[in-house]
Amino acid sequence: MVHFLHPGLRPRTIVTPNALEDPPGCYVVQEEASPYSLVDICLIVLASDLERFCSERPDGTLCLHELGSFPQEVADRLLHMMTVHGKLNDRTVGIFQGNQMQLKQVCIRKAKISAAAFQKAFCHHRIIELDAAGVSADLTIPDILTGLGSSPWTQKHLQCLVLNSGTLPVEEAGGPRFSQLAGLRVLSVSNIPFQNRDLADVALLPRLESLDISNTSVSDLSALLACKHRLKSLTMHYLKCLTMTTAQILDVIRELQALVHLDISDDQQFTSDLAFHLLQQKDILPNIMSLDISGGKHITDEAVEAFVRQRPAMQFVGLLATDAGYSDFFTSEPGFMVAGGANVSQISEALRRYSERVCFMKEALIRLFTQTFYMQITKPAVLKLVAVGMRNHPLDLPVQFTASACTLNLTRQGLAMGMPVRLLSEVIHLLLKALKNFPNNQQLQKNCLLSLTNARILQDVPFNRFDAAKFVMKWLCKHENPNMQTMAVSVISILALQLSPEQTAQLKSELFIVVRELLAIVKQKTSENLEDITLTFTLRALWNLTDESPATCKHFVENQGLAIFVQVLENNVAEVKELSSELMVSSLMGHVSRLLHSVEMEVSYFAAGIISHLTSLGEQAWTLSSIRRRVLLDDLYTTVLKWPSPSCKMVALVTYRSFKSFFPLLSNFAIFEVQLWALWAMHHVCSKNPTKYCRMLIEEGGLQLLQDIRDQSQAEPHVQQIATSILVDFHMHFMSYKKSPGYKRPLQT
């Protein structure tokens, strides 16, 4: 098999992350390169096959076998892992009933569980943090409050409660209240119909320090004055029901003198002038350290800089989607963080802070695309932030489309070489997922295809190659743009090599169409006498697709591929016995015979392969004259003996998925000429890639056949010599790894 990997073009200078200049990048490289902890590996196994380790209660819920109690940190991680991977439901959540688990930090974000299951599984634990954002409507906010309030310990000690995007039905008087949770320090109730009376109730919490009421139904902020001496963080973007004037809002904020963080950003084009007027105030927010006014109208560098200079404790300002953030004060001030769009540093901060806010995510990605178009510095931390955005907004086309363009910029040419493999794997997985969600968006498909043309990604990165091959095949059949056609066939030529025969067989309809399309490309190129890179990739794709795939070979023949077969010497087709009669054509064999004597080593090699496979079937299967068969075998023998050493270099890289197609040739002592070619071919690839092919000899049983040839007294001397040489090289290779961990002694020869 010919495996042609096109070299990726690289910028002249690729700079990898520097620990001093890019600490986040270095951290991501180290983190992604580190193996998963043993605890995480065990928890992944447990979460993915929970039924195996559990028994069933009468009510249908699962109960872990008696394994002792889980440490609190491990139990928290198991729950989080089940939540993230969508494994949490009314049945599986049963493992957290009883005292076998000790939970403290509970994450059930976006889980689909009922109120009854929540009560049984969690409310007896000593919880200090609960993240129930986006849970299903079967578990309402009153249900959660009722459950938490049922535990006197939780009422006193629960510190953090996140209920974003939950269900809050209109309650009658006397329903569960937030104020019963007297220990709360952090409360987030964004994106729910949280009203003035709820705010008044929350403001009475004696320890409340952080509150998020964004996109709620609050119309009056006056209730916040009840906690003005203890509230340190307030997030309140997009309060669409607010009836207060700007001056009234500022009066309330002015009283909140303990605030160190205020978020009044506007990602919904609410057109509020609050941020503009806030910046004009000198007697407000004396202790503020973090101010987010992203999306604000009429914001200028001068106004923001003046505000910050008056408050030297400030460490962060959000300025994305404003006209500010571009002066030297914001782009070069050390230690001062800006979420904006002026440079990659500001954009990275925006991606990190706004990963769940789709409008700001779109804005940040657009800015990132323009900043990274000519990127020559590897930025793994930025790529990871883009991946987080893609993962958080899988059904938002603008996010997926722009993110795909950014990932292309961040990995194109040689930049992918500096990216951790695990991170690249995650990105390709997200791109393929986006293709499934938006199958008709051509530009998204184009960006994904361009990413797949990267040599590092195709060779080193684990991803679903079956899905990728299916996508590229469909793309090739729908688009005629020459440049994109070249890229598509180049990717297919490599992916086809990486698919198992079983996977190739599953691509029935795609294979039929793509083989026809590839043959059409070859026919066009040969008729126009164009020997360009597209033709090269197309021939490689045909070669790799037909390898060990009788169905593909059948499509090849049925679509008049024999003419192409003559030109490109694809001897994969010759390996399929059922098609041998189609190939035994006098004119065809005459042409192959002439090419056997070509001065081009590769041409002669492939012609020899065709002759070997067809003549090895015996005289009964040979439909031409017996004299011609004898002449071909004599020519084959003398030609192979004239070839240089099997360790010689050929322009085309010859690779094989398996040695199994050689075994009938090796065991055919009656036709030693085909034995000679098969052994030369095997010796060639073993000398080029001993790690792969020496192991293949063991795993597929080829070693025994070589021993039989070596020990067979009737074997032809040259055949015996090459077999012995392979065995010697085999032992030399494994002797060099004799002391390596996990080494297993090869079979004795």
pLDDT digits (tens, 9 = 90+) for 692-745: 888 899 889 999 999 999 999 889 999 999 999 999 988 888 776 554 444 444
487 neighbors 450 (Cβ within 8 angstroms)? yes
- Binning the chain into helix, strand and coil, the percentages to the nearest 5 are 55, 5, 40
Q: For residue 52, what are the contacts with CB-CB under 8 A and spacing of at least 6?
A: none
Q: For the segment 95-145, what is each residue's pLDDT rounded down to a tens digit?
A: 999 988 999 999 999 999 999 999 999 999 999 999 999 999 999 999 999
Answer whether residue 732 is part of any domain: yes
Rounded CA separation 706/659 (Å): 12
Q: Does residue 16 share a domain with residue 46?
A: no
Answer whether residue 259 is part of any domain: no
Rounded CA separation 187/302 (Å): 34
Residue 593 φ then ψ, to 5°: -60, -40
Q: Does residue 30 share a domain with residue 51?
A: no
pLDDT value for 331: 86
Q: Does residue 18 share a domain with residue 76?
A: no
pLDDT value for 580: 67
Q: Does residue 151 share a domain with residue 48?
A: yes
165 neighbors 190 (Cβ within 8 angstroms)? yes
Q: For residue 293, what are the contacts with CB-CB under 8 A and spacing of at least 6?
A: 264, 265, 275, 278, 279, 299, 304, 317, 318, 319, 322
Nearest to 123 by CA among 91, 158, 92, 90: 158
Instruction: Evaluate the CA torsion angle 61, 66, 71, 74 in order and state its sign.
Output: negative
Radius of gyration of the chain from its Cα atoms, rounded to whole angstroms:
34
Tell me the angle at which helices 482-498 and 533-546 cross, rounded to the nearest 10 degrees. 30
Rounded CA separation 569/598 (Å): 12
Which domain range does residue 93 map to?
Answer: 38-167
Q: Does residue 42 share a domain with residue 30?
A: no
Rounded CA separation 729/647 (Å): 11
Answer whether residue 88 is part of any domain: yes
Q: Amino acid identity, residue 26?
A: C
311 neighbors 279 (Cβ within 8 angstroms)? no
Nearest to 122 by CA among 86, 156, 88, 166: 88
681 neighbors 661 (Cβ within 8 angstroms)? no
Half-sphere CA count of 139, side-chain side, radius 13 A: 28
Nearest to 337 by CA among 323, 320, 321: 320
Domain end, chosen from 463, 493, 523, is at: 463
173 exposed, middle or buried (CB, 10 Å; 0-12, 13-18, 19+)? exposed
pLDDT value for 749: 39
Instruction: Evaluate the CA torsion angle 598, 600, 604, 606 in order and state its sign.
Output: negative
Domain end, chosen from 414, 433, 463, is at: 463
Nearest to 410 by CA among 372, 448, 365: 372
Nearest to 445 by CA among 432, 456, 464: 432
Residue 327: DSSP 8-state: S
Rounded CA separation 559/554 (Å): 9
Q: Does residue 59 share a domain with residue 15?
A: no
Q: Does residue 80 share a domain with residue 155?
A: yes
Helix (H, G, I), strand (E, B) or coil at 582: helix
SS (H, E, C) 116-137: HHHHHHHCCCCCCEEECCCCCC
Nearest to 338 by CA among 328, 350, 322: 350
Rounded CA separation 613/557 (Å): 17
Give CA separation, 489 vs 1, 400, 526, in Å.
16, 25, 16
Q: Does residue 22 share a domain with residue 109?
A: no
719 exposed, middle or buried (CB, 10 Å; 0-12, 13-18, 19+)? buried
Answer whether residue 82 is part of any domain: yes
Q: Does residue 147 share a domain with residue 107?
A: yes
250 neighbors 284 (Cβ within 8 angstroms)? yes
pLDDT value for 569: 46
Q: Does residue 57 share a domain with residue 14?
A: no
Answer whether residue 399 is part of any domain: yes
Write out the DSSP string of 167-197.
--PPPPTTS--GGG-TT--EEE-TTS---HH
Answer whether residue 610 is part of any domain: no
pLDDT along the chain (749 residues), means of 10: 32 44 74 86 93 94 85 95 95 94 96 97 98 96 96 97 90 75 97 95 97 97 97 95 95 97 85 91 96 95 97 96 94 89 96 96 97 90 97 97 96 89 96 95 93 91 94 85 84 88 84 87 72 77 80 79 54 58 76 82 83 87 89 95 86 73 91 95 90 88 92 92 92 66 43
User: Please, what's the largest Cα pairwise distance for the chain?
Assistant: 106
- The count of structural domains within the chain is 3
Answer whether residue 174 is part of any domain: no
Partners of residue 291 on adjacent β-strands: 262, 317
Count of residues for the chain? 749
The tokens for 114 are 């009922």
Partners of residue 263 on adjacent β-strands: 235, 292
Q: Does residue 22 share a domain with residue 112?
A: no
Domain end, chosen from 143, 167, 191, is at: 167
Nearest to 348 by CA among 406, 288, 401: 406
Nearest to 131 by CA among 161, 96, 166: 161
Long-range contacts of 362-366 (CB under 8 A, 24+ apart): 362/396, 362/398, 362/399, 362/402, 363/320, 363/321, 364/320, 364/389, 365/389, 365/399, 365/402, 365/403, 365/406, 366/402
Half-sphere CA count of 186, side-chain side, radius 13 A: 9
The tokens for 567 are 């030109």
Nearest to 322 by CA among 375, 362, 265: 265
Nearest to 444 by CA among 457, 435, 436: 435
Look at phi and psi of residue 191 and say left if phi exceeds 0, alpha if psi is from -120 to 50, else beta.
left
The tokens for 629 are 């068969």
Q: For the segment 140-179, what is each residue's pLDDT rounded down to a tens digit?
A: 999 999 999 999 999 999 999 999 999 988 765 457 899 9
Q: Does residue 64 share a domain with residue 142?
A: yes
The tokens for 460 are 């080193």
Q: For residue 585, what are the contacts with CB-CB under 8 A and spacing of at least 6?
A: 562
Answer whether residue 122 is part of any domain: yes
667 exposed, middle or buried (CB, 10 Å; 0-12, 13-18, 19+)? middle
